[in-house]
Structure formats: structure tokens, C-alpha cells
Structure 1
């Protein structure tokens, strides 16, 4: 599991390097932009096809834990991001703060949230349902939150809510409609389709960074700024991990549910973040804006992997 995640991070790094050395130019820009749109639509179509309607219904039943995770994901994070921006506005430049605030508006991850919850001996069923529900709601809530947090109307160069509906929601609904016919096939070929999902992200990252490099990305972003972004990301993760543990205890949840809240409530989805950013923001800005998301993604994997193993060992010791 972790090897696969690490290999994907290496692919992301390689893609950024490739875009820096050989950015897409001229007629190739239009080709890659169109390819990115098609692959993003395909990714959300297959997500809809893989998710059974029964899972959607069951995912909404245990409302207390879903409410706790949802509030951490879509309320605590944005408030924390806005609070840090208000306290130290000069710590990062404008695009980097936009990226951090965009990060705070994203849904939770699915794959790693479930994996870490399982390793820590938490409620896997709750993690599956909550993480899945978070990603469904993120299609609607993330653009709205971006509009509120950034004091814009979710139209930061991307044309408003219309592109989100057409490029993300419509394919997802189409996948749900087709689920009775292709759902079983999608589950049988889950590993193959995961390559398609990750390929979509890599194409979007390459396209976004190519345009950013052509616009002078690395001249506008000194190494110290990257270090500050990493510091802000680590601070956000540390605060959220502490608060999600507090939410679990104050809410009277059992240990298994507290573990699910801890990992689902502290994660942010790179898989959803890159496509949504490509729709919401101007192409020239996407490369800069997704950098905080990519850095947070890597930090959360290493920190939560360590934490999950520790919690799992503690659970084994009490059995």
C-alpha cells in the first residue's frame, strides 16, 4: 500500500520536473488541455460507476460520525486556514495562500483514510462510508467554500459553477446511472482503473505546471517560499490531528469511531483537488495553487502512517 503511494508521489515529482524542463508549448497546449478534460470526466464517471447506490444510502445512516467528519473537513479546515491567513498574511505570497485556502476546502481522501483506519484498528466501515460521502459532497461543497473563503463566486478564472457541474458532476451521475451494467466490471478491474485515475492527475499536473513554467513559475517561487508552505501545511495538520482527537472524545464516540474520525477528518484529497483546481482556477495559476495540496498530501501520508502504526500497536497490546 505505502509503496504504491510512494511510487505515485515519485511520479508526481517526475511530472513536475518534466514540465519544468520540457513544458508543453504551442499547439500542444490545446491538445493536453482537451486530454485533461476528457481524462477528468472519465475519472469521475468511473468513480460513479464503482460506487453502488446501496453504499451511498448506507453511507448516510450513521449520521453522528459522518457529521463529525464532515464538520472537520468542510468547517474546521476552512476556519483554520482563514485564521492563519488573518494572523500571518505576509508569511506566504498571494498564490500560495490561495493554494493553502483551496487545500482547506477539499474533501477527505478515500484510499489512505481507509488504509490508515484499518492499520490503527479503527472502524473501517465508518471510514469507507464517511470518506466516500465526503468526496461526493466535495463536488458541491468545495466550489462553494472556495467562493466563500476566497471572497469570490467560485469563478477564479474557471467560469463559475457551470464547469464543475459539466466536467465533474454530470460524469459522476452518468457513472451512477451506468452502475448496474458496468459496476461489477469496474470492481473487477479496480487496479487497472486506479492507473487511469492517477494518469488523469499526472496529465492535469503536467498541463498546469507547463503553463505555470512558461509564465515564469520558478522565478516567482523562491525555495524559501516552498519551505514556508511546508511549514504551514505541517502546522495545519498538527492542529487538525489534535482537534479531531478532541472531537472524538468530546462526542462520546467509541475507540474505533474515534480512529475513523482522526484519519478521515484530517485528510485532504489530492485526487479530487487537482481536477477541481483545473476547473475553478485560470490555467496559468493552477500549477502554483496545487503545490500546497501536493506538499500536504506527502506530509499527511508520512505522519498518519506513523500514527496509524502506533495506534494499531497500542490496540494489539490491550487485546
Structure 2
């Protein structure tokens, strides 16, 4: 029996706890502060370990990186926009808007690289691509979402910009600046840092879903709504994996780089999505908007392993 990914278990636990024991009342403000502090820590750690040398060295692989960046920050947001428009009559408005938010997120880092390796792809290209996509995501995801959503979401105004700078960009920049001082500690305590990463994401999910539960999220989604979420995630997964593979072929990438592009292009990062949702959206909206991202994240992990095995089995000998 395949082992359940630890991040999946933590996410499910956070959703369960938020459902049966949502934080509220006078504790809500404290919980939000703790969530913001956890997000700050998460992006500080990201800044400490994101290898500048690998990103700079990989910039020269423009034949992979340029189409991949365009796919992740143009094609996938366009697909998310279409899903938002297409599901708006079936799903509650904020839930449908979650597909647009999902489409604007960057790729995963660890799982995209792991599955690229499992599929026999170019691991070095995958590391550089995922790192670059997440670096760009810190700057691009929030304004891109706000631009595409227009008046249907919280405007990316001065208040939103301040939150993103203070809770996302500032700790990331501090981490980059302190790499020479603390980078060795991070490298020497990988297990602890991974636990801190996962805990920060789980806290953000718990706080977001606590607010959603108190707003009655489970009663607001009927069976047709759940079917809409499943269908939307399936459509975006099919587009993400299929179109990124075909795009890699169209630009003439060799097979190893095409595999790297496929996983980096199709997978979406809950590590960026959960913290950004709690920072960008009002507490009552964050958990609802985040639900498609959580569903997509779980689904991508389920299909990634058999897909990687299939690609490996069909690799030229």
C-alpha cells in the first residue's frame, strides 16, 4: 500500500481540526497573528535555501525556461480564468474564483523535482525551473490574480501591497541576504526545516478554513458544487500535463527537459497558495477561495507517481 505523503496528512488534519474545532471569537485575532508569523517564517526559510547560484546558472537554459515561464504565468492563468467563468453558474462565486487563484500560482519545488527524477527527466533543469518559477511567483502571483479578477476580488491596493511586502517579500529578501550566515544551518538541519515548512503551511490552512467553517462553507457546497470542483480540477490537470508536454515538444526540448517542463508546468504550489490566500484575502473569503487549490494539490500527488512511472517505462533505452 503506497505511503501517504506527510504534507497530505498534515493538510487533511488541518482541515479536520478546522471543521470540528474552528478558532473564533477573541482567539481569531491571535490565530491570524500566529498564521502571519508562520508565513513570515516560511518565506524566510525559502529565501535562506533558494540557491542563487543554481538560478543564475540556469538562466542560460532559455529554451526551457522562457516557454515554461510563459506557460505557468500566461497559459495556466488563462485556463484558470476560463474555469472561473465556466463554473460561476454552478459554484458559489468565491469558490469559482478559487480556480483563477489556482491558475496563477507557481509550481511546486520538491515534488516537481522528485517526480521528474522518478520519470527519468533532467533533475538539474527541474531544480532551476522550479526555483525560478517560485522566485517569480513571490512577485507575480498576487498582482496577476488581482489584474485578472478585476472587481471580483480584494483589490491589490496599498494595503494588499503592504501585506505582501511585509509578510512575503521582506522575509524572503532577508533569507537571501542571510544565506552566507545561516545557509549552512539550514542545510545541516533539513529535517527540522522541512517540519517547520510543513507546519507553517498547515497553520495557514487551519486558520483560513476555521474562518470558512464559521461562515458555513460545508453547508454552502451541495453535491453539484463538489462535482464542479472535481471536474474543474480534472480539467486543469489534463490541460496542465497535456499542454506542457506538447509545448515542450513544440519548442524542441529533449526528452529530459520535456519531462522537467511537464511537472514544473502542471503542478501548483500549496506552499505559496495557502500563505498567500491568508495574506491577500479577507478571513471570511480565504478558506473558500483556497479550496480548489487544496483539491488540486491532493489530486496532482495522486496522479503524479503513476504518470512518472509511465514516462520512465517509455523512456528510450
Superposition TM-score, scaled by structure 1 size: 0.94
**Structure 2 unaligned spans of 5+:** none
SS in 2 for 1:290: helix
Q: Report whether the alignment pairs 1:23 with 2:22.
A: yes
Deviation, 1:28, is: 1.6
Cα 1:5–1:195 shift into 2, 3 Å: farther
> In the aligned structure 1, how far is the partner of 2:13 from the partner of 2:158?
27
Q: Report whether the alignment pairs 1:33 with 2:60.
A: no
Q: Report whether the alignment pairs 1:67 with 2:66.
A: yes
> In the aligned structure 2, how far is the partner of 1:114 from the partner of 1:88?
32
> In the aligned structure 2, how far is the partner of 1:299 from the partner of 1:32?
29
Do the aligned residues in 1 keep the contact of 2:105 with 2:137 (CA within 8 Å)? yes
Do the aligned residues in 2 keep the contact of 1:96 with 1:289 (CA within 8 Å)? yes
**Residue pairs, 1:89-238, within 5 angstroms:** 89-152=88-151, 155=155, 159-238=159-238
Deviation, 1:112, is: 0.7
> In the aligned structure 1, how far is the partner of 2:314 from the partner of 2:2?
24
Tell me the residue number matched to 2:308. 308
Count of paired positions: 316
Per-residue displacement from partner, 1:170-201 (whole Å, max 9, x unpaired)? 10000011100110110111121111111011
Deviation, 1:8, is: 2.1
> In the aligned structure 2, how far is the partner of 1:250 from the partner of 1:269?
26
Do the aligned residues in 1 keep the contact of 2:270 with 2:293 (CA within 8 Å)? yes
Per-residue displacement from partner, 1:100-143 (whole Å, max 9, x unpaired)? 11000000000110011101111101100000010010011101
> In the aligned structure 1, how far is the partner of 2:271 from the partner of 2:158?
19
Do the aligned residues in 1 keep the contact of 2:81 with 2:99 (CA within 8 Å)? no
Q: Which moved more, 1:57-66 or 1:244-253?
A: 57-66
Do the aligned residues in 1 keep the contact of 2:39 with 2:275 (CA within 8 Å)? yes
> In the aligned structure 2, how far is the partner of 1:239 from the partner of 1:206?
30
SS in 2 for 1:91: coil
The RMSD of aligned alpha carbons is 1.9
**Structure 1 unaligned spans of 5+:** none
Q: Which moved more, 1:49-58 or 1:82-91?
A: 82-91
Do the aligned residues in 1 keep the contact of 2:233 with 2:295 (CA within 8 Å)? yes
Q: Which moved more, 1:259-268 or 1:239-248?
A: 239-248
> In the aligned structure 1, how far is the partner of 2:118 from the partner of 2:179?
30
Per-residue displacement from partner, 1:134-173 (whole Å, max 9, x unpaired)? 0010011101111111014863799322211111011000
SS in 2 for 1:207: helix
Cα 1:230–1:214 shift into 2, 3 Å: same
> In the aligned structure 1, how far is the partner of 2:275 from the partner of 2:157?
14
Cα 1:69–1:108 shift into 2, 3 Å: same
Tell me the residue number matched to 1:284. 284
Deviation, 1:10, is: 2.1
Do the aligned residues in 2 keep the contact of 1:122 with 1:259 (CA within 8 Å)? yes
> In the aligned structure 2, how far is the partner of 1:88 from the partner of 1:201?
27
Do the aligned residues in 1 keep the contact of 2:39 with 2:200 (CA within 8 Å)? yes
Deviation, 1:38, is: 0.8
Q: Which moved more, 1:5-14 or 1:29-38?
A: 5-14
Cα 1:263–1:38 shift into 2, 3 Å: same
